[in-house]
Amino acid sequence: MMDFALRCATNIHWQALDVHREARALIKNQIPCCIWFTGLSASGKSTIANLLEKRLHAEGRHTYLLDGDNIRQGLNRDLGFTEADRVENIRRIAEVARLMVDAGLIVLVSFISPYRSERRMARGLFTDAEFIEVFVDTSLDECERRDPKGLYAKARRGELKNFTGIDSIYEPPEKAEVHLESGVESPEVCMERIIEKLSSLQVSV
């Protein structure tokens, strides 16, 4: 008989560390937070997030951008697009973002994250001041018109299953801290609106 007791969570205890999150943030001279971008594929999330990171970097901020496609090529490469896999995809990235905020970084997370329950789970890992949800609100018609990767066309032909907006639901945020209309406003204007929000929270100067 094999005993797997060492794998049980009851044998795991939180290790106290002498260098805490406040010390890590202080040395970077910034207030760490998680900026969570959500929206349909081709809504403009990654474009706006990239512009924002460039702006914050130019201001001397310590940042990291976690992009859905990039993460699926490494950490989450074992996950597909079933509902269960999508839930696990968000759980993992939320935990990574939490660790990065603990390290004192301003973390930008650009994931479709279609389910409200998973976004609530992610929010629950942070204090109210640390989590900023950004809803990149772009109509399905506009996203399909853009379709830079040809994914909507494949989904419409039935070649791509469980695609958000076509045969898998997207639940829009009900009370996002920042609501952007990227089909109406340019990516640059959207980025400036986030900067204004961060400035009001004293995250960016």
What is the span of the domain harbouring residue 185? 20-200
Residue 9 lies in a domain: no
Tell me the pLDDT of the chain (205 aa) as tens digits: 445 454 556 676 667 776 788 888 889 999 999 999 999 999 999 999 999 999 999 999 999 999 877 888 888 888 888 889 888 989 999 999 999 999 999 999 999 999 999 999 999 999 999 999 999 999 999 999 999 899 999 999 999 998 999 999 999 999 999 999 988 999 999 999 999 999 887 664 4
Asked whether the beta carbons of 106 and 30 are under 8 A apart, the reply is yes
Asked whether the beta carbons of 65 and 110 are under 8 A apart, the reply is yes
pLDDT score at 2:
47
pLDDT score at 4:
47
Pairwise CA distance, residues 168 & 161, whole Å: 8
Residue 119 lies in a domain: yes
pLDDT score at 10:
67
pLDDT score at 76:
84
pLDDT score at 68:
77
Domain of 44: which CATH number? 3.40.50.300
Overall domain count for the chain: 1
Residue 205 lies in a domain: no
Pairwise CA distance, residues 46 & 142, whole Å: 16
pLDDT score at 6:
47
Residue 193 lies in a domain: yes
Active-site positions read 113
Asked whether the beta carbons of 112 and 68 are under 8 A apart, the reply is yes
Residue 4 lies in a domain: no
Helices 116-123 and 83-102: angle between axes, nearest 10 degrees? 20
Residue 11 lies in a domain: no
Residue 5 lies in a domain: no
Residue 120 lies in a domain: yes
pLDDT score at 72:
81
**Alpha-carbon distance values, 36 to 3, 118, 151 (Å):** 41, 12, 23
Pairwise CA distance, residues 174 & 198, whole Å: 20
R_g (Cα) of the chain, nearest Å: 18
pLDDT score at 143:
96
Residue 37 burial (C-beta neighbours within 10 Å; 0-12, 13-18, 19+): buried
What percentage of the chain's residues is helix, strand, coil (to nearest 5)?
Answer: 40, 15, 45
> From start to end of 69-177, where are the E strands?
106-110, 131-136
Asked whether the beta carbons of 90 and 111 are under 8 A apart, the reply is yes
